[in-house]
Amino acid sequence: MGRFARAAAFSLFIIGLYTFYSVFVIPPINPGEPPSESAASGGPATIEELLALGEEVYNGKGACSLCHTRDGGRAPALDDSALAAKARFSAPGYSGKAADVESYLYESLVDPSAYVVPGYGVSGTDDRVSPMPGVRESSIGLNDTEIRAVIAYLQSISGAEITVALPGEGAGE
């Protein structure tokens, strides 16, 4: 077998590996999906609808589940994010302005570099810069209702008290 044929075979093998990985390992997302009916009609009317919207955004448009898997993956697992928040916003490396769990989670979504969990920062930044984009300005483009829904969902899966107010109740950023 000639040198060219071996190089071509190797290239096809590598392309096959990348294709397999992208099809079977990386979970699919559909960021172009229209917002749910509750989001389109002015927002969820009950806590249950808010949590359902939060889970929908977390696994879909928000693309959170691509990196934040239960085993940690490329980013910390978020199962205990609301419970760990108090320790994080009082940690020495914290540079944000949050004073409570809800505002910390909000800040973590819109300004992820305010606190980077040790070991998950951009390489060479001493965990001062997060690889996560802000969910408002980036291609993710979450609105305030979707951000609050994700916060409620994170509080729910953490077993913490849900402190997020429904749209029209006067709370939120």
- Say if residue 4 is in the same domain as residue 42: no
Query: What pLDDT score does 171 carry?
Result: 47
pLDDT tens, position by position, 122-144: 999 888 898 988 998 778 889 98
Eight-state DSSP code of residue 20 = H
Q: What is the CATH number of the domain that holds 146?
A: 1.10.760.10
Query: What pLDDT score does 172 carry?
Result: 43
Query: What pLDDT score does 139 carry?
Result: 81
Query: What pLDDT score does 8 carry?
Result: 93
Q: 4-28 burial, b if ≥16 CB within 10 A, otherwise e?
A: eeeeeeeeeeeeeeeeeeeeeeeee
Tally of domains within the chain: 2
Task: Say whether pLDDT at 40 is over 50.
Answer: no
- Say if residue 110 is in the same domain as residue 153: yes
- Say if residue 141 is in the same domain as residue 75: yes
Whole-structure pTM value: 0.70
Which tokens go with 117? 């969990």
By percentage, how much of the chain surpasses pLDDT 90?
21
pLDDT tens, position by position, 79-123: 777 777 777 877 877 788 888 888 888 988 999 888 888 888 899
Query: What pLDDT score does 38 carry?
Result: 47
Q: What is the rounded CA–CA span in Å between residue 108 and residue 98?
A: 10
Query: What pLDDT score does 22 carry?
Result: 85
- Say if residue 20 is in the same domain as residue 39: no
Residues in Cβ contact with 131 at an 8 Å cutoff, skipping those fewer than 6 apart: 74, 75, 120, 121, 122
- Say if residue 54 is in the same domain as residue 76: yes
